[in-house]
Amino acid sequence: MITVWLPIMSPWKPLNRLPSPIELVRQFTPNWFTVNMGTGITFLLLAQFPARIAGLHALAYGLFIADAAIFALFIGLFAARWLFFTQDAMPLLRHPVQSMFLGAIPMALIPLVNGLVLFHPGQPAAAELATHLWWIDAALSLLTGWLVPWYQFTAQDHSLERMTGVWLLPVVPAEVAASSAGYLAQHLPAAQAQALIVSGYALWGMSVPIALGILTVLYLRLALHKLPPKELGVSTWLSLGPIGTGAFALLTLGAAAPQAFADTVMAPVAALAGPLGVIGALILWGLGLWWLVTAIALTAIQVRRGLPFNLGWWGFTFPVGVYTAASLTLGLRTGMAFFTAFAATLIVALVAAWAVVAVRSAHGLWHGHLVQAPCLSCKPELPAKTA
């Protein structure tokens, strides 16, 4: 008599949808770092909410600590996959979708870097740790920005019809690091700030123009081949990421440059960085507004068709969050209340989206049904035993 072993489907038993708990390691993908991206931008914006609300800052700090712990856990799981399941991890680099999410790793680190100086202002140790982590993040951003496109150009199978906003993920981390460079530079001595600002502008140049080119191709793809599959329906929101971060980076770098380069040969150029940054951010903000309205309209169509939940739903958080950060900063730099009110509205919507996606992602991780590695050629089978 042949019987098949099945896991006990208890709601209190973790990973009960997986054949074995070790599958959490073998099938852990970089998609999970979008959890850190979404949580990170949420606590950063909550801590800077325009209205003072009792307990809001404490809540933001709690999310910061939780996000740091989750990031450490995910780094451990991802490293363990490469260490103990190297042959199963290698196909990730050739997968046309999963490989793109390698860019989520450096983008997940930046909110923690910024959080160190935001929640520990005036503490040299926090600023020093943040600076070291920033340089690590910049290196990772450059690695993904070159490595993933190299595989995309030489080893992966792509077509215009299958193209989505996911293509943006490997190139955007550089501009995310650039925005952080301007933010950190305002808390550092001039010599350190100068290095970060110069590096930040270079990183911006290695990311934003390429991202805008990808958005142009994405527009063409949507016109010719219509909406992406419902499983990738949320990917349209990713277009807000490079636009919002590009604008935010111009604002932070422009704010930091004049003080950092005062009394240097770069002082006249640095003095222009602030006003030019505002102008550039306003232009990008307008472009982002077009994509925001478009993403809402296209998502409404996808919802009517049936939008299945997956980790892609984190696309509702980080891209909206960085666009919100740009809006909030424009309000401060221009003195126009409209931008501040608009940002506050988006923060409320962001928190609501984060709560829904976080709960459903935690449920999927606990039970294991969201732990899937499409890059693996075959799925593990349930072990059978003979009675």
Q: What is the pLDDT of residues 323-364, one digit of tens each?
A: 999 999 999 999 999 999 999 999 999 999 999 999 999 999
pTM for the predicted model, two decimal places:
0.93
Which of these, 137, 142, 145, lies nearest to 114 by C-alpha position?
137
User: Looking at the domain assignment, is residue 161 inside a domain?
Assistant: yes
User: Looking at the domain assignment, is residue 198 inside a domain?
Assistant: yes
- C-alpha triplet 197, 139, 184: angle, nearest 5°: 35
Which of these, 54, 42, 121, lies nearest to 325 by C-alpha position?
42
Torsion sign over Cα 330, 332, 336, 342: positive
* Top-confidence residue, 302 or 379: 302
Has residue 4 got a pLDDT over 80?
Answer: no
Question: Helix, strand, or coil here: 161?
Answer: coil
What is residue 103's predicted lDDT score, i.e. its pLDDT?
A: 98
CATH assignment of the domain containing 165 = 1.50.10.150
DSSP annotation of 239:
G
User: Looking at the domain assignment, is residue 2 inside a domain?
Assistant: no
Range of the domain at 193: 15-375
DSSP annotation of 311:
G
C-alpha 146, offset from chain centre: 18
Domain count, the chain: 1
User: Looking at the domain assignment, is residue 361 inside a domain?
Assistant: yes
User: Looking at the domain assignment, is residue 4 inside a domain?
Assistant: no
Ranking 3-17, 43-57, 95-109, 155-169 by mean pLDDT, the lowest is: 3-17
User: Looking at the domain assignment, is residue 7 inside a domain?
Assistant: no
Looking at the DSSP assignment, which residues form a beta bridge with residue 2?
Answer: 386
User: Looking at the domain assignment, is residue 384 inside a domain?
Assistant: no
Has residue 13 got a pLDDT over 90?
Answer: no
Mean pLDDT across 141-168: 97
User: Looking at the domain assignment, is residue 314 inside a domain?
Assistant: yes
What is residue 387's predicted lDDT score, i.e. its pLDDT?
A: 33
